[in-house]
Structure 1
Amino acid sequence: MSPQPAPSLPSWMTWWQRPFPDANTLLLHGRRPALVDSGFVGHAQETAEWAHAHAGTVDLVVNTHWHSDHVGGNGLLQARGAAIAAGAPEAEALSRRDPGCCAAEYLDQPVAPYAVDIALDDGALLRLGDTDWEVVRTPGHTPGHVALWQPEERLLVVGDALSDYDVGWVNLALDGLDAATTALASLKRLADLAPRVILPSHGPIPADPAAAFATALRRAQRLVDDPDGAVRYGARRIFAFALMIRGGILADEVEPYLLARAWLTDAAHLLDLPPEALAADLITTMLAAGAIVLRDDRLHAATTHTPVQPAALRVPLPRAWPAPKPPAS
């Protein structure tokens, strides 16, 4: 049987499938040009130039959630006049400049400062381009994660809730031991919409939405059934991302790097392991699986990814971000 073609997209949207460390970017054309997600900070200029080439201006950026690969272009686009919209829990934390914003310090994933102009509640309607989209709260991967639903065309932007090959990892240490159950419930809610097209934040557009949801629900159920597996899965994802954005890490510096990370320490605690044991196991198992490779005395992520210039990582941590400007009266 030949593979199914990807579903067709309306002419009023442009889809940009991007390799890691960037999330895919969606541009909605019209009187209010809008972007959904803005990539990694190391490629913010590239994001802005792409948007300008396709739309001229961007009035609004909507973030599915606040991880670094989704919000990296926010600051630059906001400086050029775009408003930023995000799920209410994350918008509220950003407005008070909570040091944990974007989990940037916790995950050691840099994010340039930005402010949220529009807090999104479940069921809210957003005009993106010339079309109306409904906000669907989908907590799990992060507490403020949202999806976007366009009912006339049955288009569903799912963020990191699922992809053609994966489901979003969950942070049981930060978000509670029920985060995997919450993520599964969000997936079931999205599946009930029966979309014609799934637009994920990573990887290609699934050719068969129903099959993609069936597979994702099985994967998400495994994270519920195996909390230790969920913790290890998250650790592998975070570590691989660290290697991607840093052009790899010298082999003899990897273990000290891991032991300095709060996410590694928390994961070890949940697994009832010494941090040193988890760090060593993470390296060994990922090398054996081919998820990371040793090349030129550096460990690298094996997944295809776009290089990042080291200077691009030098942005302040959220605890040092300036207070957001008050809205104009």
Structure 2
Amino acid sequence: MTLTPPALPPEITVFERGWLSANNILFDGPGGAALIDSGYCTHAAQTVALVAASLQGRPLALLANTHLHSDHCGGNAALQQRWPQLRTLIPPGQLQHVRQWDPVALSYVPTGQECPPFRADGVLQPGQSIALGGREWSIHAAPGHDPHAVLLFEPQARLLISGDALWENGFGVVFPEIEGEGAFAEVGATLDVIEQLAPVTVIPGHGSVFGDVPAALQRARARLAAFVAEPLKHARYAAKVLLKYKLLEWQSLPLEQALDWLDGTPYFGALHQRYFAGRSAREWAAALVDELVASGAARLEDGQLTNV
């Protein structure tokens, strides 16, 4: 049975987006309006419109990112352009990469994704707190999916903003594993932190707000155990997610162009070298497309690959 999560406090509005863009969480109240995560760049105009319509002429004062994957911060630049006085906070560890704008270190080149350069004014420091909508939210490190990610927790209502550390049915691709850096243990440690915080309601980076957190944690731990037991399963999952994500952006394109993109994307090359070097990169890329089509996540007709 799926439990209906408790209603969110009135100062919080969640814009649940499709999987190309992370959810946006808008706070309004004392201290000014604040937004957590800004979606992907191709949806940036829509993100600005959603926030502006909700604020009805009031300015957006603060923007913060749970982590700096392109689907969580791709709208930062557009929001900063719309509200020039906007203060922007990011997780620690990548401040200099943002200020020097290093798209390789920030993962945008390795993933083959886009993110317009934006400004960062400071960091969300784990162990400290941040005022959002008149409440104090504690900041917690959440490595695993991304080594620099953070969680935000409000202890009175026991609300958690989890980013991609916990969804109702799993968690995000463990990107350090693609680079050959073991991070499955960090995923488990972050799930332990969430269990210790004991939230009643979770606002995830993707998908609907949910309750029944113990059940979600159980599903996440089962998924993690499967990846630990068979890292190849995670590698195949990661490759398909990266391709499906790009297909969400493209919607439709010739198959050969999709295969060319795979050939030129560093993370695909890393996965191929580490796990699938027994076949050519092109053969492996074609097999990924076939798997997406077989699962119903894409359609291939007359050489045209289309998102489903």
TM norm. shorter chain > 0.5:
yes
Native 8 Å contact 2:138 2:153 kept in 1 = yes
Q: Is the 8 A contact 1:158 1:198 kept in 2?
A: yes
**Alignment partner, residue 219 of structure 1:** 223
Q: What does residue 33 of structure 2 align with?
A: 33
Change (3 A) 1:174 1:236: closer
Query: Would the aligned equivalents of 1:173 and 1:266 in 2 still touch at CA under 8 Å?
Result: no
Picking from 55, 73, 76, the partner of 2:75 is: 73
CA distance in 2, matches of 1:233, 1:185: 21
CA contact (8 A) 1:244 1:300 kept: no
CA deviation digits over 1:180-220, x for unaligned, max 9? 22122112211221101011011112231111111112112
Change (3 A) 1:254 1:98: closer
State whether residues 13 and 27 of structure 2, in contact with CA within 8 Å, keep that contact through their aligned partners in structure 1: yes
The Cα offsets for residues 28-82 of structure 1, whole Å up to 9 and x where unpaired, read as 1113211010111111121112112222221111101111111111112122121
TM-aligned CA deviation for residue 224 of structure 1: 2.2
Find the counterpart in structure 2 of residue 232 from structure 1: 236
Q: What amino acid is aligned across from residue 198 of structure 1 in structure 2?
A: V
TM-superposed deviation, 1:98:
2.5
* Number of residue pairs aligned between Structure 1 and Structure 2: 301
Alignment of 1:110-125 (within 5 A): 110-125=114-129
The structure showing larger relative contact order (alpha-carbon pairs under 8 Å, at least 6 residues apart) is 1
- Give the Cα–Cα distance (whole angstroms) in 1 for the partners of residues 218 and 63 of structure 2: 30
Q: Which moved more, 1:183-192 or 1:90-99?
A: 90-99
Pairing 1:11-30 to 2, within 5 Å after superposition: 11-30=10-29
- Within the candidate set 162, 173, 182, 2:186 is matched to 182
Q: What is the rounded CA distance, in whole Å, between the counterparts of 2:240 and 2:147 in structure 1?
A: 21
Partner of 2:3: 4
Contact 1:35 1:62 in 2 (8 A): yes
Match of 1:192 in 2: 196
Matches of 2:114 and 2:52, distance apart in 1: 24
State the secondary structure of the residue aligned to 1:89: coil
Code of the residue aligned with 1:121 in structure 2: it is Q
CA distance in 1, matches of 2:186, 2:170: 17
TM-score, structure 2 length as denominator? 0.92
Check the 8 A contact 2:36/2:63 in 1, yes or no. Answer: yes
Q: 1:238-267, CA deviations, whole angstroms, 9 ceiling, x for partnerless residues?
A: 100111111222123222221121111100
Is the contact between residue 153 and residue 159 of structure 2 (CA under 8 Å) also seen in structure 1?
Answer: yes
- For 2:43 and 2:228, how far apart are their aligned partners in 1? 34
- The equivalent of 2:299 in structure 1 is 293
Identity of aligned residues (%): 30
1:119 shift after superposition: 1.3
Q: Secondary structure at the match of 2:187?
A: helix
8 Å CA contact 1:51–1:57 kept in 2: the answer is: no
| Structure 2 counterpart of 1:277 | 283
Would the aligned equivalents of 1:167 and 1:216 in 2 still touch at CA under 8 Å?
Answer: yes
Tell me if the contact between 1:172 and 1:231 (Cα under 8 Å) persists in the aligned partners: no
Question: Which piece of structure 1 moves more, 151-160 or 214-223?
Answer: 214-223
List gaps (5 residues or longer) in structure 2. Answer: none
State TM-score, norm by structure 1. Answer: 0.86
| Counterpart amino acid of residue 66 in structure 2 | T
**Residues 32 and 127, structure 1, Cα contact 8 Å, conserved in 2:** no
For the 8 Å contact 2:147–2:176, the answer to whether it is kept is no
CA distance in 1, matches of 2:147, 2:96: 12
Equivalent position SS for 1:153:
coil
- The question of whether the paired residues in 2 share the 8 Å contact of 1:251 and 1:297 is answered with yes
